[in-house]
Amino acid sequence: MLATAAARPLGIALGVAVDLVVGDPRRFHPVAAFGQAAAWLERRWYADDVRSGARYTIAAVGVPVALGCLVERATAGRPVLRAVATAVGTWAVLGGTSLAREGVAMAGLLEGDDLPAARDRLSHLCARDPSGMSGDDLARATVESLAENSSDAVVAPLFWGAVAGLPGLLGYRAVNTLDAMVGYTSPRYRNFGRVAARTDDVVNLVPARVTAALVVASAPVAGGSPTTAWRVLRRDGGAHPSPNAGHPEAAIAGALGVRLGGENVYGGTAERRPELGDGRSPQVADVRRAVRLVRVVTGAASVVSVLAAITVTRARRRLTQ
């Protein structure tokens, strides 16, 4: 008989396994459905002020969190059902397998010198304007996106699943999705999206640094040095305009021995990002090295999250006894 304390760690482990085998569904993805609902709500509640954005964020995040709480309450004393629910939630919010597949797809297109297809494919990873990008530019964008998304799509959801169970899984993905939708500093979202963006910054503070640490430890699988990766992380991790993205990006720059950062174009507007790392600019071969790092980080984060879930569950049981 499955013990209640084992439901959360087992559910996370099963969800990771399903993601490894299946990846993200091509149609009817739960996160896409949430995005459509959030877009519907935005159309009705949008106003160019912070208060409206706060109300929107609270509602859009509160519903998934409440749903997670209701499911956990309904499965109290039913560890098998709770494990299944946690597994489904973990699979729904986790993106490690699909992230690695996108990296492999980009590597194949760049190795085949199919730049038009690679430029089209880049939208699967980030929102940069790829027109006019060279092969090396696309390689840099891919490596940077793999680094940042290894935190957003892998480590962060697993972290919040271990800490807060199903409400943490669903709540984190809701916050991160809202940030991608309205968290830009464009004129439309500078005020309305401020609360969503700041909330995303807060919930990613710990996961981004855990991701960086895992990248440092995994550097040898990409032919890199943990010592070098750690040195670059300590020196450059805080240079990025984001309070979080710079940490995994600096770590992967050090692990690969490349230099990230430079000019990026978003919606026709060029932004200059600080340079991270000491080496050469990323090249096509570095994309597959980055994919190897993402896969190892995903595996390591999965093990750590299961162990953390066991620890958290045991601590809660001791407190309630």
- What percentage of the chain has pLDDT greater than the value 70? 98
Q: Is the pLDDT of residue 255 over 90?
A: yes
Q: How many domains are contained in the chain?
A: 1
Higher pLDDT, 208 or 5: 208
> pLDDT confidence of 293, banded at 50, 70, 90?
very high
> pLDDT confidence of 1, banded at 50, 70, 90?
low
What confidence score (pLDDT) does residue 321 get? 67
Q: Is the pLDDT of residue 27 over 80?
A: no
> pTM above the 0.75 mark?
yes
Residue 287's nearest CA partner among 42, 104, 98, 19 is 104
What confidence score (pLDDT) does residue 4 get? 77
Q: Which residue has the tokens 């997670």?
A: 68
What confidence score (pLDDT) does residue 268 get? 64
Q: Is the pLDDT of residue 2 over 90?
A: no
What confidence score (pLDDT) does residue 75 get? 95
pLDDT average, residue stretch 7-22: 95
> pLDDT confidence of 154, banded at 50, 70, 90?
very high
Q: Under a CB-based contact definition with an 8 Å cutoff, are residues 312 and 135 in contact?
A: no
What is the DSSP code (8-state) at residue 151? I
35-60 per-position pLDDT tens digit? 999 999 999 999 999 999 999 999 99
> pLDDT confidence of 288, banded at 50, 70, 90?
very high
Q: Is the pLDDT of residue 127 over 60?
A: yes
Residues 6+ apart with CB under 8 A from 161: 8, 12, 15, 86, 89, 90, 93, 168, 169, 172, 305, 309
What is the DSSP code (8-state) at residue 6? G
Higher pLDDT, 176 or 262: 176
How far apart CA 172 and CA 180 sit, in angstroms, is 13
Query: Domain containing 90: what range?
Result: 4-320
Q: Is the pLDDT of residue 94 over 70?
A: yes
Q: Is the pLDDT of residue 185 over 80?
A: no
pLDDT average, residue stretch 104-132: 92
The pLDDT mean for the chain works out to 93
Residues 6+ apart with CB under 8 A from 269: none
Backbone angles phi, psi at 308, to 5 degrees: -65, -40
Q: Which residue has the tokens 């990230």?
A: 260
Judged by average pLDDT, the poorest of 17-21, 43-47, 130-134, 285-289 is: 130-134
pLDDT average, residue stretch 204-210: 98
> pLDDT confidence of 78, banded at 50, 70, 90?
very high
